[in-house]
């Protein structure tokens, strides 16, 4: 899961980043309005943590621009302002939740997980696809109740594939989601290929009903 943290207070940004990395998320950062907008308009994120007060603009402006472009990012506003007007405006313009500073990191994590469940898994903890079931809360996958032994990146790939069932996933989109946009695809293509191959082997050996197909020269597609 890939999260963008938009926050201009360095100490808080670093604290949140370290915590999310410890929880095994891919984390990207932006400390001002312009760098945040650049990232949002280029990349897709599973969740965006958005401060309202930013150098160069405001988080509410970012929400307005995202709404104009029909871009969604499962947005949680994190702000020192406990203004009812800001909350209402933020939620009206597309935010999914609002957390007032200071906050406890476990509460932030709970809010992130709740947003991801509501938006990506329709509120479900477990997703069933053929004889494969994936427990997102426990980060475990099963084929006919037999556990699949997946490493962290293999599980992240599987999650991305099944939440985009029957959709073409480009190699770049897969890399951005699982490894982040700082990953050098040119130097690590063989590594990514081997990771997908290992996931395929584990699904095949477990007699899974799903198949990760190669789309020559473009990427992959997961089908039943």
What tokens were used for 63? 């929400």
Tens digit of each residue's pLDDT (9 = 90 or more) over 119-136:
665 555 678 888 999 887
pLDDT at 3 over 90: yes
Name the token pair of 13. 């940004």
SS3 74: coil
Distance from chain centroid for Cα 176: 10
Helix (H, G, I), strand (E, B) or coil at 31: coil
| Res. 81: pLDDT tops 80 | no
Domains and CATH numbers, the chain: 2-120 (3.40.50.2300), 126-223 (1.10.10.10)
| Cα three-residue angle 136-27-197, rounded to 5 degrees | 60
Q: What confidence score (pLDDT) does residue 119 get?
A: 65
Q: What is the pLDDT of residue 115?
A: 82
> What distance in Å separates the CA atoms of residue 59 and residue 70, rounded to the nearest whole number?
16
3-class secondary structure, 160: helix
Would you state the pLDDT for residue 191?
83
Residue 6 banded pLDDT, cuts 50, 70, 90: very high
Q: Which helix (H) or strand (E) holds 4?
A: strand 2-6
Task: Give the percent of the chain with pLDDT over 70.
Answer: 90
pLDDT for 71 equals: 77
pLDDT of 171-197, one tens digit each? 887 887 787 766 666 567 778 888 999
Q: Which residues contact 88 (CB under 8 A, 6 or more apart)?
A: none
4 pLDDT band, cuts 50/70/90, is: very high
Write down the pLDDT at residue 168. Answer: 87
Give the mean model confidence (pLDDT) for residues 66-76.
Answer: 82
Please write down the HEC assignment for all residues of 115-154: HHHHHHCCCCCEEEECCEEEECCCCEEEECCEEECCCHHH
The torsion defined by the Cα of 195, 211, 145 and 178, in degrees rounded to 10, comes to 30
Query: 9 pLDDT exceeds 90?
Result: yes
For residues 58, 63, 64, 68, the Cα torsion angle rounded to the nearest 10 degrees is: 140
């Amino acid at each position: 899961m890939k999260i963008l943290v938009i926050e201009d207070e360095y100490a808080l940004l670093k604290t949140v980043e370290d915590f999310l990395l410890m929880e095994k998320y891919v984390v990207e950062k932006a400390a001002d309005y312009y760098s945040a907008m650049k990232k949002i308009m280029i990349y897709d994120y599973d969740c965006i943590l958005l401060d309202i007060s930013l150098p160069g603009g405001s988080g509410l402006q970012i929400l307005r621009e995202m709404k104009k472009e029909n871009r969604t990012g499962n947005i949680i506003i994190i702000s020192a302002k406990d203004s009812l007007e800001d909350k209402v405006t933020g939620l009206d313009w597309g935010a999914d939740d609002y957390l007032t500073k200071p906050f406890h990191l476990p509460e932030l994590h709970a809010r992130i997980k709740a947003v991801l469940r509501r938006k990506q898994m329709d509120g479900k903890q477990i997703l069933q696809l053929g004889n494969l079931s994936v427990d997102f809360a426990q980060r475990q996958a099963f084929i006919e109740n037999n556990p699949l032994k997946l490493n962290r990146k293999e599980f992240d790939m599987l999650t991305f594939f099944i939440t985009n069932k029957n959709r073409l996933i480009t190699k770049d989109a897969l890399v951005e989601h699982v490894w982040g946009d700082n990953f050098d695809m040119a130097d690590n293509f063989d590594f990514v290929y081997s990771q997908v191959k290992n996931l395929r082997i584990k699904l095949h050996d477990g007699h899974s009903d799903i198949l990760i197909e190669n789309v020559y020269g473009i990427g992959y597609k997961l089908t039943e």
